[in-house]
Chain A
Amino acid sequence: NAGVTQTPKFRILKIGQSMTLQCAQDMNHNYMYWYRQDPGMGLKLIYYSVGAGITDKGEVPNGYNVSRSTTEYFPLRLELAAPSQTSVYFCASSYGGSSGNTIYFGEGSWLTVV
């Protein structure tokens, strides 16, 4: 009963480095999301996908890229990491759009850019 699985759990990056946060879900959900959570700021939507091959920007997409080649996987790519990208990242999924359906979250990835 894995649900939404994210890796890595923790990562320290140097400014200018790149990395990919991995996300997988085994619930056959069509919608997947990436959020970032900054202290005292709640969750902000970075990118989302409504199905394999379809992605769209959320509220804070700059500095990130995503792809969705299959239903199960939705990796988030950070290019040229900046200190402003220090945050906790959550991958999530739902069956149907998030506004009317339960979203299931992964456990989070703590990223520090130094």
Chain B
Amino acid sequence: AQSVTQPDIHITVSEGASLELRCNYSYGATPYLFWYVQSPGQGLQLLLKYFSGDTLVQGIKGFEAEFKRSQSSFNLRKPSVHWSDAAEYFCAVGISSGSARQLTFGSGTQLTVLP
């Protein structure tokens, strides 16, 4: 079965600084990869997803992520963080079977943005 690791439980950055959130997955073939964001008291919203093709994926709110097969990683980046980016971020991996059971979420990274 696939698994997802988000090694950083909590990250603090200053507004305007760059951001990178790490995500590592374990799966034998090329997975489907997702980043979701959860604002306080809200459900999860999709930021971006990777299925195939270009390994650099652009998402909403100025986020991007890069799929690196050799490192089994799908790190999320943003060049300049805004205070409104403070939230919890979840990486998720799905396998290509299309089954509803086959989507696994990481444990999340809480982002704090300092003024």
Contacts and interface: CB of A to CB of B under 8 A. Distances in A.
Interface of A: 4, 31, 33, 40-45, 48, 50, 56, 58-59, 90, 92, 96-100, 102-103, 105-108
A44 B90 CA distance: 12
Given A43-B105, A107-B42, A108-B41, A99 B98 contact: yes
Interface of B: 4, 9, 32, 41-46, 49, 51, 90, 94-103, 105-108
Given A40-B108, A100-B94, A107 B102 contact: no
B103 A103 contact: yes
A99 B90 contact: no
B42 A99 contact: no
A34 B10 CA distance: 26
Contacts of A41: 107
Given A42-B90, A99-B32, A100-B32, A90 B43 contact: yes
A99 B95 contact: yes
A contact patch SS: loop
A90 B107 CA distance: 15
B101 A103 contact: no
B109 to A, nearest CB: 11
* Most interface-central of A40, A41, A97, A107 (chain B CB within 10 A): A97
Given A99-B103, A102-B49, A43 B43 contact: no
Given A98-B99, A98-B103, 6 more contacts: A31-B100, A42-B108, A56-B100, A96-B98, A102-B49, A107-B42
A-B residue pairs, 8 tightest by C-beta: A99-B94, A105-B43, A97-B98, A42-B105, A98-B103, A42-B107, A48-B100, A43-B105
Contacts of A40: 9, 107-108
B45 A98 contact: no
A4 B100 contact: no
B25 to A, nearest CB: 13
B90 A100 contact: no
